[in-house]
Amino acid sequence: MGKTVLITGAASGFGRGVAFNLARKGCQVIAGCQIWPQVWEMRQAAQAEGLDMKVIKLDVLDDIDRAHALALDIDVLFNNAGIMESGPMVEIPMARMRSVFETNVFAALEMAQGFGKKMVRRGSGRIVWTSSVAGLVKVPFDGAYAASKHAVEGICSAMHEELAPYGVEVVTVNPGAFRTGFNDTGMESMDQWWDQAERVVDHWPERELTHQADPAEMVTAIVEVILADNPPYRTMRPLSTVTMARDEQAAIWDRKAR
């Protein structure tokens, strides 16, 4: 029998791709979906493939849903649920900023704490966090999301060291731009509030996301991280972004105020 893996944010994007790939490989997949219609749809899709996948309602912001999930016994938590809100930092409504952190940071940490404690008591387990290339570099007009993923990087770095002595592994996966729709709708999100007040800076320049990669590349990499005996601490795709991130981090040391 394969590993038992709980996936948050499993209804779409990387979460969905990883859920189906792991189920096809014989893992015991528990796919967490935010709303009931997603649960029903994903159950139907799994049944159509003849896959034995457990699909549950798991809104990571909901105390009842989290408690239901935390009662389960798993080998791996894929902490994947996340949202993106765009906008310049001087303009973005604080409610939007807080919303990003509630989902991407605080709810994810609650999931990691809950399962992390169970894993420590057992002496084994793995927590895989979806971070981002944006957690390591500057991302103008997407500072809220980037800041949340910088926070994830800090949390994961600490948890990795804190839990290693107890046999619990903490690793990150860091996607760049992939064609899941996440980036496209995230860019669009600022249009919801932009015209509701006078602005002192310009709107995000109009641009098409024409250079996004096939998400299958990232899904394959995440599946490997979940199944590997000793995966790397950080897995970034596309591979071209690794050099970009390293170069940009180095360049920050020479950055000037203007």
Which of 78, 145, 178, 182 is catalytic? The answer is 145
Average pLDDT, the chain: 95
Predicted pLDDT at 205 = 82
Mean of the pLDDT values across residues 115-138? 97
Beta bridge partners of 178: 213
Which residue, among 47, 64, 18, 7, has the nearest Cα to 223 in the 3D structure? 18
Least confident segment among 95-99, 119-123, 245-249: 245-249
Domain containing 230: what range? 4-252
- CATH number of the domain bearing residue 175: 3.40.50.720
Is 166 marked active-site?
Answer: no
Query: In the structure, what pLDDT confidence band is assigned to residue 179 with cuts at 50, 70 and 90?
Result: confident
Question: Residue 90: inside a domain, yes or no?
Answer: yes
Question: Residue 258: inside a domain, yes or no?
Answer: no
What is the tally of structural domains in the chain? 1
Predicted pLDDT at 1 = 62
Give the global pTM. 0.95
- Rounded to whole angstroms, the Cα distance separating 74 from 61 reads 20
**Would you say residue 199 has pLDDT above 80?**
yes
**CB crowding 62-93: b at 16 or more within 10 Å, else e:** eeebbeebbeeebbbbbbbbbbbbbbbeebbb
Query: In the structure, what pLDDT confidence band is assigned to residue 204 with cuts at 50, 70 and 90?
Result: confident
Question: Residue 57: inside a domain, yes or no?
Answer: yes
Which residue, among 31, 84, 76, has the nearest Cα to 54 in the 3D structure? 31
- Rounded to whole angstroms, the Cα distance separating 159 from 112 reads 9
Question: Residue 257: inside a domain, yes or no?
Answer: no
- 227 Cβ contact partners less than 8 Å away, ≥ 6 residues apart: 3, 22, 25, 27
59's tokens: 């809104």
* Secondary structure class of 210 (helix, strand, coil): coil
